[in-house]
Each structure stands twice: as structure tokens, then as C-alpha cells.
A and B are shown apart, each in its own frame.
Chain A
Amino acid sequence: MATGGGAGNKTYSFKVVLLGEGCVGKTSLVLRYCENKFNDKHITTLQASFLTKKLNITGKRASFLTKKLNITGKRVNLAIWDTAGQERFHALGPIYYRDSNGAILVYDITDEDSFQKVKNWVKELRKMLGNEICLCIVGNKVDLEKERHVSVEEAEGYAESVGAKHYHTSAKLNKGIEELFLDLCKRMMETAQAEERAKGNGASQSTTSRRGVQIVDDDPQAATAAGGCCSSA
């Protein structure tokens, strides 16, 4: 059975950059997302794995993670780029977020200061990348609700005012993380599709667009692996 033939035979590759202050938990957030599903149907890999074996290293890395998804029949490869939260590395931000399709801006709901930092990032991203980048503002550590210092109304109001979506998560309790990424993927796909349409009938594949949305043909092996579940027996 050949699933997802025809127009669906595409893979979207998206780059998502992860921004936020030092201890807001952005690394554990993404680690939770990519690792938790490890034994599920979705194939999740620490991209490292194939070469890691070769080098015989078992380092656990969370700075660069990839995730493969299947959303409404479309394949999505997500590359998640973590950035350093420390102030002294902030000047280096632009080289990380260039060509990003999405950005996840994380703050700690118990830390007003970290929310201010998010606002600065939003300003910079909008200035540098315009409106094409999908922004997610994420209030992490909702397990510490009692110590909340950033009000829900303020955060959501702010997100709306800058055209971003707001989410509440807890990496500790694994809350809200799956929705966050799924939602972001859908939005990035919409943006990419709109971009394709805007390019119009130009059938020729100008895949190396400035924003790095790459549409690659599926490799046949992966297609059979995904579709072969109920065929041969």
C-alpha cells in the first residue's frame, strides 16, 4: 500500500530556534519533547545516534535535536536549535536564528525578569526576520503555580499583541509540550504552503529559498517503512 502518494510525497524541513534566559528550562523542555516519545510509533532520534555509534560515544546531547513527525499525511523534519541563555552570548544570537522558520521563546513563570528577556527577543526577531517567523511564547514551570510572578493575562495579552501564540508548559510534569510543538509545526507548514502558493505556478523547484524551507523528495525506503505496517504478512 502506497500511502501519501502524489502531492503528499514531500518532506518539510523546519528549523526552530530555542531562546530564553539561563535557567528557564528550555533545554529540559526540548529534551522532554524529543526523548519521551522515544519508544512510540514516531521515530525520534538524537540525530547524534548514527555517528555516535561509529565513534563509540554515548554522550547525551540536548543542544541540537531533531524530530520526525507526520502531520496530516505530510512529513516534517524538525531541527531544534538550542541557544545559550547567558547574557554574554547574546551578541551571538543572530547567527543562530537566521533562516529559522520558528522560534520558541521560553520564560519561567516565577521569574518576571525572564519574561522581560522574552520581550527583548521578540523585538529583535521581528526586526531581523520580519513577520514570516512563527513565534511561540512559552511560560514554563507551571508546576510552580504558587510562585507565579508573571500573570496569565499579561503574558497572553502580550503574545497576542506581537502576533505570537502563548503556551503554558511544565517540563517536569510533561505538560503542554506536545501541543506546543504540534501547533508550531502546523503553523510553519501553513506558512510554507502559503509561500509555495505565492510563488505560484512556477513549477520549477526553487528549494533554496532564503528562509531555508526545504522540500525534499522522500527517500523510497522511508516511505515503505512507514507504509508497510499492514501489507506484507
Chain B
Amino acid sequence: MDLNPKYLYIFFQTLSLQRQMMENLIIAKARQDALQRKMEERRLRLQEEANRRFAASGTINGEEQEQRVLYTNILEYEQDHDWPKLWKAKLKKNPDDATLVTGLVSCLLSCPDHPVIKLLKRLQYRVYNRLYPIVSKSLPASPALPMKPSRSTQSLLISDSHQNVSKSGTGHSLSSDASLNISSSHDHNANEAELDSDGPHTLDRENLFEDMEQFLTQMDRDPSHRDPDMIFEPSQLDQEFLVQDLEMHALKKHLKAIVKDIHIAIDQLLSLCLLSFECLNTANSKDLCVASIEEAFFTPIWSPLLTLFRKVHRERELSFESSMRLYQDASPGDVGVASKLYPQDHVVLHGSYPYESAVQELRLLCRDCCPQKKLECIVRTLRLICACAEDYCCLHEADSKTAAIGADDLLPILSYVALHCELPQLVSECAALEEFIHEGYLIGEEGYCLTSMQSALQYVESLHTGGFQLHNTKSA
């Protein structure tokens, strides 16, 4: 057979091509190995760096271990991405520039791969996962206590595109995600970890039974608990009472644990954030940083969180509602507002009611999803009250001698405004604010406004019992 040199040529060509390809493959493999080795080396190096950083404290506990891992991740991230360096350089030039600080933090929050944000998501899932079983159970409300579905429960059902990020309304995928994540993140307390997966009725089973026993023995001893008319079915009644009581007890415990968890989560996030951007570690930048982290953290979980608060404060909300209905048409004078502080003449009001602007403002409180924003809303409400009061005062006295609104005047007006707001959930919102507002704010104007709001709400709650005398005009 004769070999056509042309074919031979092609054959050799193919062969050499194949060899080249093989070589290429081998080179590629070698390169990949080298890269892998380098990556591993880098990881180890960074790990060492992280270890050095945390070396000061001798013993290593789980928390520190986790911190090290997270810090390693940050270092790794920063080698792969340039933006952190750029921001750091910018901040170094103007360390006190608040817009730079907020810019950096919002940039950070928009990077889903950054370890800080990964941690944020994980912690959020964890909280959500603990809330979900209780909150979802709350939807078919218990028969004896009808309650208007709140904005919050609604938004849990119907994905509210306005306030909730893609996460809300997809409880199931969240829960499964979360359970995956939980295994990787360590828990502060073994007991709490148990709660993560359990529903409310299986909460802390042993304690519950202990409490139950206590209740039972207490009731045996104390005959006043037994209604003589119900002598035939005492056990059933007792049991109903017991179940309700135990459920509330469990809910409160759960709420407390979740509140604590959230505080820990935010602290953790802040410290990781400061670890990755040391330039943020000044008093002012830190405050801005906390504010942004909180906003990001609370926004998707506020509605289920509030639902839990509402379950715990149901009695108070019901009182508020009763007062609300009773005082629907009450004038400011009926709740003790001095007559010079509101116009009696309906013409002056142009068809509205006194302090309407403050009522409108306060209603907006439920729209925000972050404690700080809500607090600002309360502050604005109080300012509006003062502005209205001054306007009304000027109507009464032509010489426009302005009135100073002291607490004697403020609280009755605030109570009137709260009544007209017609939002019983304010009670729970404020209770939640009380838990999540920083101590630093509590001494200042924000704290004063929140305290006044709480007082007014408590007063409104007590109104329907008639315990307070009305038309108390002994005010300066």
C-alpha cells in the first residue's frame, strides 16, 4: 500500500495535535494543582494571620474559633475583591466623613458574598426560623379573642413588595435554608438550640410539666380559684385556664430568648464589621454602622417579630381596643386636654379633628421596619403635637403669647392622639422598641418621647376600666 504523503502529513499533524492537547491537559492540571496549592497556602497563611490577631487571648473557645474562621474569610474576600481597599483608602483621607461611612456600609450591605453579609443572612435566618413556627400558628386566632388581622400578619401572608425583600412570604424555603445554616453556626445555649426546631407547644417540655405540677398543687391549696357554680366541670375549666397560662408563659420565654439572640446577633455583626473595616471604629462611624446594620437586619424579620410581641401583649392590645371603641367620639377635653389647647369651634378645623397631623404621623410608625426609624417617627409625632398646640393656643389668645407645652399638657394630648390613631398594635410596637433601642438613646429626647408614648398608651389602656376620673382639669 502506498502512503500518500499528504495523508501521512495529516496523520502526523493529528498526532502532534493530540500530543499537544495532552500536554496542554497536563499543564492545565499542573497549573490547577499549583493554584490549588497556592490557594491552600493562602488560606493557611490567612488563617495564621487570623490566629496571630487573636493570639492575645490564650485559650480558644468556640466563639473565638468562629471569629477566626470569619476573619479568615474576610481576608480571603479582600484578596479577591478590590472595593474594600478602595473604600479604606478613601476613608483614611477623610476619616470623619459621614457620607463616606454610610457609603461604605451600604456598599458592604449590597455585596452578598461578603462574610459580614453572609453572617447577617445566617443570623437572620436563625431568628426567622425560630419565629416562624409560633407566628404561623398565630394566624388562626384563638376563638375567644377575635382580633383584627394586623398589617404585620397580613404582610406575612401576602408578600408585601414594598417593605419586604424577596425573602418574606416564602417561609418554607427560608426554614429549610435556615436549618441548613444552623448546623454550621454554633449556638450559645444548647437549650435554645432545641427551641430552634421545636414548635411553641413543645417548648421546653420538662419545665412546662414542672410548672404544670406547680400550678396544680397551688390550685388544690387555694380554693378561691374554684368557681362554686362550675363545680361539675372544674377540672376542664382549670385545664383551659392552665393551658392558656402555660402558653403565655412559653411565649414570653420564647420572646425573651429571641430578643436576646437578636442583641447578640447585632453585636456579632458589628464586631465583624469593625474587624473588616477598622477605619469604622470611631464613635460616630460606629453609630452609623450600627444604624445601617440594624436596618438591614430588622427589615425582613420585623413583621414576624412584631407578631410574636403582639401575641405576648394581646391582653394590653385588647384593653387598648376597648378604650378606643369607648372613646371613639371623645373630644380632647374628655381625656383631660386643657381647653385652651384645642379649638372647640368646628369651623376652624376645616372638617378634620384636632391634632390630625400628629395622628397621621403616628400612624406611619407601623410602616417602618426598623426600630430607629420608628423612634424617629415618635419624635416627629411629639413635635407635631407641640406645633399644633401652639397654633391652637394662638387661636385662643390674640396676643399670641405662646404656650410652653410641659408634660402636664403633653400627656393628655398624646393620649388623645394615640386613641385616634386606632392602632392597638402600637402597644406591641412600643414594647418592641423598648427592647431594641440602645441605652444611649434612652436618656435623650428619643428616650423621653418613647417614655411619654408608653405612658400615654398605658393610660389609654386603663381608660375603659373607668379607673381614672375624667375631666380632671387640675392642670396648669
A87's contact among B442, B448, B472, by CB below 8 Å, is which?
A: B472
Among A22, A91, A95, contact of B408 (Cβ-Cβ < 8 Å): A22
Q: Is the CB of B383 within 8 A of A52?
A: yes
Contact call A48/B406, Cβ cutoff below 8 A: no
Contact B406 A27 (CB under 8 A): yes
A86 to B408: give the CA distance in the assembly, Å. Answer: 7
State the Cβ distance, B326 to closest chain A Cβ, in Å: 16
Asked if B458 is at the interface (CB within 8 A of a chain A CB), the reply is yes
- At the interface, yes or no: B106 with Cβ under 8 Å from chain A? no
The answer to whether residues A217 and B283 also contact, given A13-B443, A25-B476, A88-B468 and a CB cut-off of 8 A, is yes
Query: Do the beta carbons of B390 and A95 come within 8 Å of each other?
Result: no
Is the C-beta of B143 less than 8 angstroms from some C-beta in chain A?
A: no
- A23, A66, A99, A208: the one contacting B476 at CB < 8 Å is A23
A-B contacts, 20 of them at CB < 8 A, read A22-B475, A25-B476, A27-B406, A27-B408, A31-B404, A47-B445, A48-B383, A57-B387, A58-B387, A59-B389, A61-B404, A63-B405, A66-B445, A88-B336, A88-B468, A89-B411, A92-B454, A95-B454, A99-B443, A219-B283
Residue among B406, B442, B451 with max Cβ neighbours from chain A (10 Å): B406
Docked complex Cα distance between A216 and B284 (Å): 12
Closest 3 CB pairs of A and B: A27-B406, A59-B386, A62-B404
1/0 per residue, CB under 8 A from A, across B373-387: the answer is 000000110111111
Residue in chain A with minimal CB distance to B444: A79
- A51 contacts chain B at the CB level, 8 A cutoff: yes
Residues of A within 8 A of B284 (CB): 219
Chain A: interface residue total (CB-CB under 8 A):
45
Is A59 touching B390 in the complex (CB atoms < 8 A)? yes
**A92 to B284 alpha-carbon distance, docked (Å):** 34
* Chain B residue nearest in CB terms to A213: B443
Say whether A26 faces chain B, with CB atoms less than 8 Å apart.
yes
With A47-B444, A88-B336: A23-B475 Cβ-Cβ less than 8 Å: yes
Query: How far is A13 from B404 in the complex, measured between Cα atoms in Å?
Result: 24
A62 and B452 alpha carbons, distance in the complex (Å): 13
Residues of chain A from 88 to 119 with CB closer than 8 A to chain B in the complex: 88-89, 91-92, 95-96, 99
Instruction: Report B95 CB to chain A, min CB distance, Å.
Output: 12
Q: Residues of B contacting A99 with CB < 8 Å?
A: 442-443
Interface of chain A: mostly helix, strand, loop or mixed: mixed
Q: 0/1 per residue, A37-66, Cβ < 8 Å to B?
A: 000000000011001100101111111101
Interface size on B, residues (CB 8 A): 45
- Can you name the residue of chain B whose Cβ is closest to the Cβ of A221? B96
Q: Which B residues are CB-close (under 8 A) to A91?
A: 458, 462
CA distance A178 to B439 in the complex (A): 29
Q: Given the known inter-chain contacts A61-B405, A82-B407, please indicate yes or no for A95 contacting B443, CB distance below 8 A.
A: no
In the complex, which residues of chain B have a beta carbon less than 8 angstroms from the beta carbon of A62? 404-406
Inter-subunit contact B439/A212 (CB<8 Å): yes
Q: What's the least CB distance linking B136 to chain A, in Å?
A: 33
B286 vs chain A, min Cβ distance (A): 12
Q: How many angstroms from the CA of A208 to the CA of B440 in the assembled complex? A: 8
Interchain nearest-CB distance for A102 vs B (Å): 12
> In the bound complex, how far is the Cα of B386 from the Cα of A58, in angstroms?
8
Contact pick for A59, options B405, B442, B445, CB 8 Å: B405
Most A Cβ at <10 Å: residue of B403, B474, B475, B476: B476
User: Assuming A31-B406, A63-B406, what are 19 further A-B pairs, CB within 8 angstroms?
Assistant: A27-B406, A51-B379, A52-B383, A55-B380, A59-B389, A60-B386, A62-B405, A63-B407, A63-B448, A64-B448, A84-B411, A86-B411, A86-B472, A89-B459, A91-B458, A92-B454, A96-B455, A212-B442, A214-B443
Q: Which residues, 10 to 46 on A, are CB-close (under 8 Å) to B?
A: 13, 15, 18, 22-23, 25-28, 31
Partner of B452, one of A63, A208, A216, A219: A63
Is A85 positioned at the interface, with any CB of B under 8 Å from its CB?
A: yes
The distance in angstroms between the C-alpha atoms of A96 and B451, with both chains bound, is: 6
Closest chain B residue to A14, Cβ basis:
B443
B336 touches A86 (CB 8 A): yes
Contact check, B474 vs A23: say whether CB atoms are below 8 A apart: yes
| Interface: B280 (CB within 8 A) | no
| A119–B25 alpha-carbon span in the complex (Å) | 92
CB closest residue in chain A, given B467: A88
Contact assessment for B443 and A61 in the assembled complex, using a CB-CB cutoff below 8 Å = no
Chain B nearest Cβ from A141, distance in angstroms: 12
B410 at the interface (CB under 8 A from A): yes
A169 on the interface (CB 8 Å rule)?
no
Complex CA gap A64/B390 in Å reads: 16
Interface residues of B in 90-108 (CB under 8 A from A): none
Q: Which residues of A contact B459 (CB under 8 A)?
A: 88-89, 92
Within 149-196 of B, Cβ neighbours of A (below 8 Å) are at none
B476/A89 in contact, CB under 8 A: no
**Complex Cα gap A22–B336 (Å):** 12
Which residue of A has the minimal Cβ distance to B388? A59
Which residue from chain B places its CB closest to the CB of A209 in the assembled complex?
A: B439
Instruction: Report Cα–Cα, A111/B449, bound state, in Å.
Output: 30
Bound together, the chains give a CA A22 to CA B412 distance in angstroms of 13
B390–A58 CB distance below 8 A: yes
Residue of B nearest to A82 (CB): B407
Q: Please measure, in the bound complex, the distance between the C-alpha atom of A61 and the C-alpha atom of B389, giving whole angstroms.
A: 10
Residues of chain A lying within 8 A (CB to CB) of residue B410: 63, 82, 84
Any A CB within 8 A of the CB of B352 = no
Q: Kindly report which residue of chain A lies nearest to residue B448, judged by CB atoms.
A: A64
Scan B205-222; emit 1 where CB is below 8 A from any A CB, else 0. Answer: 000000000000000000
Choose from B336, B389, B449, B455 the contact partner of A95 (Cβ within 8 Å).
Answer: B455
- Residue pair B472, A212 in contact (C-beta under 8 Å): no
B390 touching A86 by the CB < 8 A rule?
A: no
